[in-house]
Each structure stands twice: as C-alpha cells, then as structure tokens.
Amino acid sequence: MRRRRLRASEKSAFLLLNGVRRVESGEVLKMEWGGEYSLDSSNLDCLLNILPGELEFQQILSDLDEKIKKNTSSIEQCLKDLQSEVNEIYTNEILQSTTDCLQWLNNCSFSSLRPSSTHHGELMEFLRTLQSLLKNEQNQEEMILHFLLDLSSQCGVSFPCTPSGTSFELTSSLHAIEDDSTMDVKSLWDDVRLHLRRFLVNRLQSQEETNTNALQQQREFKTQCIQQLLFLYPESEVLTKYQNMQNKLVSDLLQNCILSSCGETNFDKVVHGYQSSVPTLCTMIKEDLYILSGTIDPSSSLKFINETYLDTITEEMTVLLERLCELQFKENALHIVKANKISKKHRGTVHAVASQEYHKKGRNFCLTLYQLKCLSQLIKLFLLMEEKIDELSAEILFVPSFTEKNKNVQGVLKKASGELLIGETRANETSVLPEQLLQVEEPILLNFGWRNAFKDLSSSVAHCITIAIEDFSTKILQHEQKEEFSAAGCAMSLVNNQQMRESCRAVQQEEQPKRIAKFCSDIMEELDTLLPLALACRDDSLQEIRANFVEACSKVATAVLARLEEKSKDVPSKAPLQDLYAALSTAIYVFQHFTMYNNLMRETSKKPLFLVPVQQYQEFINVLQFQVTNYCVRVCATSILQDAESHHWDDCKAFYEGERCSFSVQMWHYFCCALHRDLWTILPPKTAQEILTDVLEQSLAILSSRYCQACPSYKRTPQIRIDIAAILMSTEDMLWSVCSSVQEFLNPHEDRDLKIYKIHSHCNSLLSVLAILTSPLKNLYETFLNNSDEQLPQDFSKVFYHPLHWLFCIPSSCSSLPKTPSAREMAAQGQLKLLLSQPYCNLNLLLETLLHHDCLLVKILLRSSRNEVLNHDEQCSLLEQINNKQPALIETIFTVLSYCTLSPKSLGIAFETYMEKEQLWNCLYNMTVSSCGELEPEVIRCLKLTLINSVKGIVKQIISLMHSWEATENYGMYQHKQIVPESLLKTVPKEWNYTPREMKRKESGKCFTRLAAQAVSIVISKLPTVIACLPPPVKYFFFLAERKMSRNFAELKKAGLLVWNLIVIICRIFEDGNTAELLTGATLDRWSKEKLSLVRVCLESIMGKQKSGPKQVTQKVIQSIEQQRPNWIESQLLKARKLSADCASLTVEGATLEEGGIALGFTEQKINMMVLDICHKPGGSEYLRQIYHIIWLNEEYLKEQLSCENFSEDGVTSSQCLPLTLMGREEQPVFNPFQVYRQSCVKVFNQSTITEWNWDWSNLLPSYLGLNQMTFRVLLAHRWEMKEGADLEDEEKVMVEHLKNVYLTQSTPTSEDKEE
C-alpha cells in the first residue's frame, strides 16, 4: 500500500514537471494525464484567425480563466500528494508546504535516498534473461525497451545511464540493489543497452519520407528514439552521437549535390547543387528543432544546430570556394602567359610591367559577369536560408519573457504526441559546477558564418563587380542608341512591367509603372541579379564589395538619367509624345529601385548610400511631370483650341446649320481620350491620374475663359450651347477616371480635393455661360425680373449652388449619379463605372462596390454564375479551372465576404436570394454524414470547410488523447509491443512488485468510460470558444438560416443551428477515420477508430440525433460526466447557443442604424481596414483581383442588369452565361481616333441628340440667381439681343430695355471691370 501511494505521488510529480515545462515554453498549462486529476483541463488552441469582438474576447478570457483555475487546483493536488508521500517515507526531510515541494523537485538527487536490498542473484538472472532475448530472439528490442520504461515509471527503478566505460552503480528512487559484484552487473547492463542503442541508431538512420503526413510521423518517431536513447545514456553522449549522424548526412548531402553531375567543378555546378540542397537542409533543421525542443533546453538546441548544420555548411562551402579559387587563379594565369607570348613581339616591355603588377596583387583574379551572377545566386540562397532558420528558431524555440536560473531538472520525457513516457532519475551524473551555471546564463544565439567562406573572394569580387556593371550598362546603352539611329522617328522601345520582380513587390500597385524603357529594364535586371553580393556585407571583409557596388550603381544611374534627359528633349521635334510618358515612367521605376536598394542596405549601413541618385531622380521626375502637363496644356491652348472657322462668333451664318459642335471641341475630346489611353497604359496609376487631372483642369480653365468672352451672333448662339454641352459631357466622362473614391466624386472639398473642386467650378462657369448666354430671352426675363420689380434682388449673391450642380443638368449622366447633388450614396451604375474607370484594380473601391446597395452587384454575379447548361467550350474551360485548382466564383465571393468582419451582414444578404432560388436551405439543415458527398453545392462546401477548420484543434486534441491512452494503458497498436514473455516476467525481482500491463487492464473496467468521458468533455467545453472565434459573417449566416427554419427543425435544434452543425461535423470526422487522418496527419489504428466512434455515438446521443435509444456504454459515459458536474453539458450548450445568438443580434442591431444599405455606414477608413484584413488572409488579395477581372470582362452585361429601373430578383433572369475563368488581359491596341469616334464619341456626346435636347430653362435659370452680379452683367451684355441694331420684335425690345435699365444702365461696368 505504501509503495502504491508513493507511485501515485511520483505520477503527480511527473505530471507537475510536465506542466511546469509547458509553462516555461510560453504555452497554457496542459494536464494530459487521464487519471484521477482534472477531467477536461486542457490547453486553449489558437483559433484566433479573426479580430475578435467584445463578446468573443469575454468568452476567450473566461475560458482561459476557467482552465487556469482547474490547472491550478490539479497542480496543488499533485503537490499535496507528493508532500504527504515524501514526508511519510523520509522523516529526516519534512516538506512544510507546496513551495518546499517545488524546491525539492528542482534540487533533489535520488542517489541520496535510502536504498532497499535487491538480491544480486535475482538481478543477474534478470539481466542475463534480457541479454539472452536480445541475442537469441529476433525483433525483441522494441518490446524490451517498453518493458524497461514500464519498470522505471511503474516501480520507480532507476536504470543507470552513465557514460560508456565509466563506473557503475544501479540505484532506485525506491529500491537500491545490493551490489556484491558490480563489474558483472555493469558488463551485463552495458551489453543490453549497447544492443538497444544499435537498434535505436539503426532506426534513426532509416530512410526518410517526403510527404507531409509521413514527415510529421517521422518527426514523432525520431523524437521517441532520442528519448529512449536518453533513457539509456547521458544527454551529452546521446547528443554527440546524434550530432555525428546528422553531421555526416549534411556533408554527404552537400558533396553529392556538387559531385552528382559529371565534369569539372565550376561556379554553375555549385549554384545548382546548393539550390537543390538548401530546401532539404532547412527541412532537416526544422525537424531537429522540433525533436530537440521537447528533449533539451533552447540554448542546447541552438548550440546543436550551430555545430551540426551551420558550421558544417560553412566548412564545406569554404573548401569548395577555395577549390574554385585555385582553378580560377590557374586559368587566369594561363591566359596571362598566353597573352604575354602573343604580345611580346609588339609590346613586350609594357606587358612585362603589367604582369609584374598583377603578381604583386597576390591571389586576385578576374571573374566574368556570369560567375558573379552565380556567386550572387549562391549568396541569395544563404540569405534566404539564414532568414528561414531565424524564423524557425523563433517559432519553435519560443523564449519566454523570464529566465529560470536553474533548469537542471530532468523532468518527464514526452513523445511528440504528448504521451507521458518516463520519469527516470540520474543517480551518477556529475553535479553542475558554478562556472557552468554562469555559462548557461549567457544566451546562445544562432551563428551562421557562411560569409567567412567568401572572404578570399571578396577582393576579386569587389574589383570585378565595378568592371562588370560598367561593361554591361555601357553595352546596353550603346545598343539602344544604335537602334534609335537605325529607326529614326520611332517611339522608344518599351516593355511591360506588370509582373514586378520579387525585389520590387514592396511598391504599392498604384505606384508601379506599367511600361518602361527596355534598355533600363535590362540594366536594372542585371543590377537586381548582383544585388545579393552587396546585401551580404555585414563585416569589414565584405565592405569593399558593397562600396564598389554602390559606386558603380551611382554611375549607371547618372548615365541612365542623362539618356532619359536626352529622350525628353527630343519631344516633340524628333520623337513622339509617348516618349515623354515613357521617360517619366522609366525614371519613376529607377527611383523606386534605388530607394529599395537604399532601404535594404540600411540594416547594415547607418547612412543612406544612394542619397545623390535618389535626389537627382526625384528632381527629374518632378520636372518631367510638370513638363508633360505643361506640354499637353500648351498643345490644347495653342493648337487644338485655336479654331478660327468654328469660333467666328459674330458670323451671320450658322455653323453647319447648328447641327454639330466646333471642330476644336471635338479634337479636344480626341486628345483627352488619347492622353487617357497613353497615361493609363504607361505610367503608374497615381501619377497618371494626377497628370490627367491637371490637364483636364487647366484646359477647362482655358475653355471657360474663352466661352465667357464669346459674343455670338443670333446664328452662332446654338453653337455655343452645343459646344458647352459637348464639353460638359466629355468632362463628365473623364471625371470618373480622375476621381479615385466615391467621396472625392460626390463631395469634393476645396481644401482636400482642390483640383477636382476647380474642375467642377469651371464646369459650373461654362454652364452659367450656357444658361445666361443661350437661354430664350423670355425665360431669362421672367426668372431675373418681375414686371413690377425695378430693383435687383436683395439676396442676389447669397443663393448657393452645389459643386455637382452642372452634372445634374446633363441627361446622359443621370443614371450613374445619385438623385440629388447632396445625396450621400452613389447609384449602383455609378459605383461600377467609377470602379472600372480606374487605371488599376483599386481594392478599396472594389470592396465598396461589392458591398454597395446591399451587395446588389454580388447578387447579380451569383445569379449569373449558375451553369445549368454549358456548351462544349464552356465545359472545357470549367474542366481546366478544376484541374488548375482555381477557385470558382461562388467560392471566391464567399471567402471574401466571410473575411469582412466589419460588415457581418454582407455574407447573409448576398447569398440569401441565391440560397432560396437554389433551394439550398435544406442542405444546410441536414448537413449530416449522408450529405457530405463530392457533388454538394459550392456554398455548402465552403460553409463546411469553414466549420471543419474551426474544429480542427478539437479533433487533434482528441486524437492526441487517444494516442496517449494507447501508450500509457497499453491499448491498440501498443498492445503487441508489450507482450512480455513469461520467462522474462519470472526473472523480475519480486521486491520491485511489478504488475504486467495485461493484468492491470483486466483489473480496470472503467478505463473506456473515463476515456470517452474525457473526450466528450473536451468537445463540449471548447464549443463556446470555437463559436466565439468563428468569423462574424458566418455566425450571422447561420442566424439568418435559423430564422428560416420550420418548426420541426427548430424543435430538433434547440441548441442552435450553428452548434448542431459543429457537432455534426465533429461526428462526421470521427466516423470516417480517413478524414481524421487527412485532417490531422496522424495515423489511426483500429482501436483508435473504434474509440472515436464511441465518442461520436456519445455526442450524437447528447444532441438527440440517434435514431435508436442510447447504448449502455453511452449512458455510462454521460452519467459519469453528469455525476462529476451536474447539468454541465446543458449549460455549455446553452452558453454556446447564447454566444452565437448574442453576436448575431448585435450585428442586426448595428445594421438597423444604417440608412440605405450596408455599405453606407462605412467610412474610407473602415473599408481600408477590411481590405487590409482580407489581404492578410490566405489568398485574399488574389480573390479580390479575380472578382475584379470577372467584373471587367462582363462590364456591358453588368451595366445592362443594373440599368433596369424596376429591378426584380424574381422576375429578371440572366440570359448570358458569365465567364468563370480568369483569362489573360489582352494588350490594348494603338489609339485609333476613328475607333474612339465609333465607340466613345457616340456614347459620350451624340451631336444629333445634343441639338434635340429640350432644356428645362424654368428649372435651370433660377439656380443662377446667386451668380455674381459682375459675371451676370458681363454675360448678359454678351447676348446678341443686347447689341446695337439687333433685329428684335416689339415684345423682345421691351424685355431687353427693361433688363438694360435694371442690370446694365444703373451701374454700367467700366472697361477695367469688363477686363476683370
């Protein structure tokens, strides 16, 4: 009885140490023993892949608090049991408190414990039996290992793990063996453990697997082997042996990669060899970090990685580069000798001096550009490897915020699966010296000295890199100049820059140039290839390489800048205008590149290295952008808008019978269209919008000034009206392109959007000219004068009109704009037009468009994506999409909307109509095992995947629990390993009181019930946290589905549809063992699958889903849980239900405060936050771009659908099948003015339509009562009726005279006022 209690306390101590080790690693404390302590105390899985709300935070924190309290109580109980047992046995060492227990565990040495006698003959017989089994029987090693571990943990026997060849003493924490012939026992034990060590080492050297699941199993297998070796030998000896094994693997791998290809070793071979070996090395390092993290402390793990991998790689690389240097030096020397022999006849003395100078330089030799590229690729590999190893060490060897002074507790060895393995003591290990303790406190860091291998090459690389850069840049510039001379007058050769190289991905898309000069692209591509040579510089030995690289790059930047300046000066005399755009785009590209170089090198250099080139290019970009804008405006002012025939305003003849606008206005529109196309095709989107805005604003200022000064004749007055109407329509078409947000379009502010505000101001001025100058005299008179009023209106200058006023006077734009200028929301057609008018995929605007007007555009996409009838070509494209694993449109939309945590209603609103039309609600209600086929609807599949990902942590924990029970209680696949022969059992010393596992299993009948109860408790306890961590849109979707449930379903699902489906998903995973294996990567045997099935039956019984009555085992499991915690299951389910309902209700309450749609309440900041959140999720940005591309491909179809005024979801069906594949965007054709006329001009302003417009003067003119008096008088004086000798009727004369008396005669403006 005494020994049994002590064994229980040992179990408590081992459990406690396990928990303490977990706390030190930064994890939440985890009790994994399935015994008499906490039933469901388990660690909280990291399920937070969203930003939680207040309710979610409360649930997560309460769950953490509850588990910490339970873990605390379990630890306290463990310590009390240990304290009582130790005090009972060892009266000379009384532990007063639990704190004393922790100190005792930390400092105890079991070698000082009182030994008990074990007969020498029994011990010899036992060891001889072990030796005989190992030598005479096959495949007994694994059984004996488990048997010895079982003896150690159950009976407290401590088998010595002394170093090989040292003195021997076998002791026990409970029993010490009476030793009469120590050497005989030592030789027997050494022979046994040597045989077992060979067996374990052979297993470690077995062939490695490559697939992911097998890699995880291999990692667990190796961890077990290492821990078993630590049971037999000291840590230092085991690590040394394992280190030698891994060291040899690394050396063989590197040598085989280099020597595998035939021929002589060269730079190219080295690069290809390391390209294939570095990923393997990173995988090996990751595996060993995981293995060692559960076995030894982080400092020792880092030391192991340094010595085993990093030092070995450095040594191999040093030897290899020395060999290459020798070969290259000999090759260069041979070339010099040959060159000297040839040149002696002509320049003997000169070359002799050069040869002497060369030899004085030592071992410097020349490297070609290709060899420099190979070295750069090699350094890039090491830089990436260095970064990867840093990430792995930070991820796996997590260092806590505090340090433990004494970490010499041997503790409990654990398998990777979490199994409690052994609790052995180390009796004969040497005590730790104070000097060693001081060394432990010093942090051990990763030390990858690969840069040392390149020291011998540094001077040669530094010398040759300057020559190589100057050489290839000069050749490229000369080649470009030759091409220019051979093709005089042609535009600059450009290349696409759509696929940015890896080094330039830091640049935002709106700032990325689209097309750049080919010669500059070639130069920067070469510089990018050599960049790693400069980035490798961290010590003095490689400083020269970076300095020469920076100097050479600065020279290249200056040469390219000079070439771009020449190109810009050739416009327009020798080169077309497109060369100016190309030069600007290329300069921006170079500027961004050198800025990126500067940022990358800032880590190793405190001062900016490319300051001068960056400043030069910044100045050039500013000057060139001004030059582009100024040139375009001057072209408009001096060429396009100089139209003597059209602008002969006092001509008595009508211009083309008053049926068309001026030539200058039409050509201005052509020029703006061509400018728009060129800017959008070549320049960065942001710069393109800035230039187009400037040109549009300044050209409108010119037009406004000229038309304000026009004094047309009676015949030319309709031409003024047609011209201004055409200008306004063209401006409206351009305005969608220059505005980058809805706010900027609908609410331009003078302080925030000055240029946009000025555009509106110019357009309103033009409209005022149209209204005052061309309106019928009668309407003007009735508006501005009553017949009885002889005075000016008192509030003449106080009437205010909105900046967007002019837009609502153009009938063609009414469908895209809001109903009134002060409206906060844009029409759906306008939102789509604004999105597709941008020069790039504006993700913020895209998301706003998708959420706009209760996801109207998304509803159309979903309705149109139903592929009920597909032709042959569409079927082929769909098969290609499936084979390429490209997400379908429905999956893409579902994923994006489920990421919109700040708009939780969007997912439900967008899919509600689709679910009803497709009759999919029933599939959601019956998401059982039978509905999990491959041909299920896409929406249901996406929802199911979301739920599966949310419960993955629970499934992994349950399977880990199963494995732990298998190992500790000897079930399943562990059972055959523990069938100990009767001959061996008979030789076990009786004093050890060993009970075989088979007998223990027969004695305990409650173990299956305890296991199932613990598994069920884990599932039920984690449900509220799982629901709290689900994305809010998914929770609202289930809330919406629940409201549509019939009464029958509602009765079955009192716990809530979301809770129901979560448990159904877990049951489906437990029922299908293959699914569980694929989901977790674990291997399940028949025993584990049977027990998982039992857990499934229990969960189904709890949810009332079983068709037949509960089985007896199921009842026992549920009763055992209820006995320990009455009504706990019901309270947890209600808690989960309440959490789901509360989150959804808060969503609904928040949504009722919005007016006019779910997107209206979102500011630009909130939209930006959602876009950032989506882009940080897996595939988020790609999903958004895929949706944008589909919208772009189907622009006309979507506009047609949105233009239906009486839009009915039920009445309108899609006749066109929406393309579901992402096709490559075709290159835009060269600008063709005739095509612009056919496509754009007919839509923008149809001149025949303009002449037939019926202007509503009664509504238009009153808005100009607030016009400035001076402006009104000047415009009124420009009317043809006000001229001397105008041919007027009597009624008109009376009105004109009255207007003159009131506005012109009383205070006639002076000539200076007129000019002003």
**pLDDT (tens digit, 9 = 90+) per residue, 1192-1235?**
988 888 888 887 744 554 444 545 556 554 454 545 556 676 77
DSSP bridge pairs for 414: 420
HSE, side-chain direction, 13 A CA sphere, residue 204? 26
**Mapping DSSP to helix (H, G, I), strand (E, B) and coil, where does residue 171 land?**
strand
What lies within 8 Å, CB to CB, of 1219 at 6+ separation is 877, 1190, 1193, 1194
Confidence of residue 426 (pLDDT cuts 50, 70, 90): very low
Q: Please, what is the end-to-end C-alpha distance for the chain in angstroms?
A: 113
In terms of DSSP H, where are the helices of 1053-1127?
A: 1057-1071, 1073-1080, 1086-1102, 1112-1124
Quote the CA–CA distance of 760 and 809 in Å, as a whole number.
13
Say if residue 1044's pLDDT is above 90: no
Q: What is the mean pLDDT of residues 491-502?
A: 72
Say if residue 522's pLDDT is above 90: yes
Q: Are 715 and 1287 in contact (CB under 8 A)?
A: no
Say if residue 697's pLDDT is above 90: yes
In terms of DSSP H, where are the helices of 138-293?
A: 141-155, 182-204, 212-232, 235-259, 267-293
1210 is written with which tokens? Answer: 């039920």
CA angle 649, 655, 660 (to 5 degrees): 120
What is the model's pLDDT at position 832?
92
Q: What is the largest CA-CA distance in the chain?
A: 145
Quote the CA–CA distance of 346 and 362 in Å, as a whole number.
27
CA 209 to each of CA 278, 748, 1185: distance values in angstroms, whole numbers, following the listed order = 17, 63, 37
The burial of 96, by beta-carbon neighbours within 10 Å (0-12 exposed, 13-18 middle, 19 or more buried), is given as exposed
Backbone angles phi, psi at 495, to 5 degrees: -130, 155
Lowest mean pLDDT, pick from 94-103, 433-442, 641-650, 833-842: 433-442
Place of tokens 């050739």: 570
Evaluated on CA atoms 170, 175, 180, 185, the torsion sign reads negative
CA angle 67, 63, 294 (to 5 degrees): 50
What is the model's pLDDT at position 130?
87
Lowest mean pLDDT, pick from 236-245, 830-839, 922-931, 1295-1304: 922-931
Q: Are 755 and 744 in contact (CB under 8 A)?
A: no
Give, for 515, the enclosing helix (H) or strand (E).
Answer: strand 515-517
DSSP state at residue 539: S
Confidence of residue 586 (pLDDT cuts 50, 70, 90): very high
Residues in the chain: 1316
Q: Are 205 and 218 in contact (CB under 8 A)?
A: no
Q: What is the mean pLDDT of residues 626-632?
A: 95
Against a cut of 0.85, is the pTM above it?
Answer: no
Quote the CA–CA distance of 391 and 286 in Å, as a whole number.
10
Backbone angles phi, psi at 496, to 5 degrees: -70, 145
Q: What is the mean pLDDT of residues 173-185?
A: 50
Confidence of residue 329 (pLDDT cuts 50, 70, 90): low
Orientation angle between helical segments 905-917 and 843-864, nearest 10 degrees: 20
**Mapping DSSP to helix (H, G, I), strand (E, B) and coil, where does residue 815 land?**
coil
What is the model's pLDDT at position 746?
85
Quote the CA–CA distance of 945 and 925 in Å, as a whole number.
16
Q: Are 961 and 1014 in contact (CB under 8 A)?
A: yes
Q: What is the pLDDT of residues 749-793, one digit of tens each?
A: 877 889 999 999 999 999 999 999 999 988 888 888 753 344 444
Q: What is the pLDDT of residues 290-322, one digit of tens each?
A: 888 878 888 888 899 999 999 999 998 888 888
What is the model's pLDDT at position 886?
57
What is the model's pLDDT at position 2?
31
CA angle 954, 956, 961 (to 5 degrees): 95
Give the number of other CB atoms < 10 A from CB of residue 1087. 16
**Mapping DSSP to helix (H, G, I), strand (E, B) and coil, where does residue 495 land?**
strand
What is the model's pLDDT at position 737?
94
Confidence of residue 92 (pLDDT cuts 50, 70, 90): low
227 is written with which tokens? Answer: 């821990």
Say if residue 926's pLDDT is above 70: no
Quote the CA–CA distance of 727 and 1244 in Å, as a whole number.
10
Q: DSSP string covering 196-231, please?
A: HHHHHHHHHTSPPP-SHHHHHHHHHHHHHHHHHHHH
Q: What is the pLDDT of residues 456-472, one digit of tens each?
A: 888 888 999 999 999 99
Quick one: which of 810, 837, 644, 833 has its CA closest to 727?
Answer: 810
Quote the CA–CA distance of 205 and 198 in Å, as a whole number.
10
Quote the CA–CA distance of 490 and 506 in Å, as a whole number.
34
**Mapping DSSP to helix (H, G, I), strand (E, B) and coil, where does residue 1261 land?**
helix
Say if residue 569's pLDDT is above 60: yes
Lowest mean pLDDT, pick from 123-137, 252-266, 455-469, 594-608: 252-266
Say if residue 198's pLDDT is above 80: yes
Lowest mean pLDDT, pick from 19-28, 302-311, 1108-1117: 19-28
The burial of 1273, by beta-carbon neighbours within 10 Å (0-12 exposed, 13-18 middle, 19 or more buried), is given as buried
The residue with greater pLDDT, 292 or 795, is: 292
State the average pLDDT for the chain.
76
Lowest mean pLDDT, pick from 14-23, 544-553, 965-974: 14-23
What lies within 8 Å, CB to CB, of 1313 at 6+ separation is 1270
Quote the CA–CA distance of 629 and 641 in Å, as a whole number.
16
Q: Are 403 and 441 in contact (CB under 8 A)?
A: yes
Say if residue 582's pLDDT is above 90: yes
What lies within 8 Å, CB to CB, of 375 at 6+ separation is 267, 367, 454, 457, 461, 533
Q: What is the mean pLDDT of residues 666-674?
A: 90
Quote the CA–CA distance of 212 and 216 in Å, as a whole number.
6
512 is written with which tokens? Answer: 């990325």
Say if residue 491's pLDDT is above 60: yes
DSSP bridge pairs for 495: 516
Backbone angles phi, psi at 421, to 5 degrees: -100, -65
**Mapping DSSP to helix (H, G, I), strand (E, B) and coil, where does residue 247 land?**
helix
Confidence of residue 821 (pLDDT cuts 50, 70, 90): low
Quote the CA–CA distance of 679 and 1006 in Å, as a whole number.
78
Quick one: which of 766, 647, 644, 664 has its CA closest to 713?
Answer: 647
Lowest mean pLDDT, pick from 329-333, 670-674, 927-931, 1008-1012: 927-931
Q: Which long-range contacts (CB under 8 A, 24 or more apart) does 969-975 make?
A: 969/997, 969/1001, 969/1007, 970/997, 970/998, 970/1000, 970/1001, 971/1001, 971/1087, 972/1085, 972/1086, 972/1087, 972/1088, 973/1085, 973/1087, 974/146, 975/1087
Confidence of residue 798 (pLDDT cuts 50, 70, 90): very low
Backbone angles phi, psi at 954, to 5 degrees: -65, -45
Quote the CA–CA distance of 265 and 257 in Å, as a whole number.
11
Q: What is the mean pLDDT of residues 1048-1060?
A: 72
Backbone angles phi, psi at 870, to 5 degrees: -120, 135
The burial of 1175, by beta-carbon neighbours within 10 Å (0-12 exposed, 13-18 middle, 19 or more buried), is given as middle
Q: How far is CA 229 from the centre of its chain?
A: 41
- In terms of average pLDDT, the best of 75-84, 465-474, 1023-1032 is 465-474
Q: Are 916 and 1040 in contact (CB under 8 A)?
A: no
Quick one: which of 1005, 1013, 1011, 1010 has its CA closest to 1101?
Answer: 1013
What is the model's pLDDT at position 422?
32
Q: What is the pLDDT of residues 954-978, one digit of tens each?
A: 998 898 888 877 766 555 444 445 5
In terms of DSSP H, where are the helices of 449-537?
A: 455-486, 518-535
Quote the CA–CA distance of 1266 and 783 in Å, as a whole number.
12
Quick one: which of 900, 890, 901, 906 has its CA closest to 945?
Answer: 890
185 is written with which tokens? Answer: 């026992």
Strand-strand pairing, 494-496 and 515-517: antiparallel
Quick one: which of 854, 865, 870, 852 has its CA closest to 917?
Answer: 865
1009 is written with which tokens? Answer: 């019930």
Place of tokens 């040992």: 10
CA 1041 to each of CA 805, 842, 921: distance values in angstroms, whole numbers, following the listed order = 45, 33, 7
Question: By percentage, how much of the chain surpasses pLDDT 70?
Answer: 71
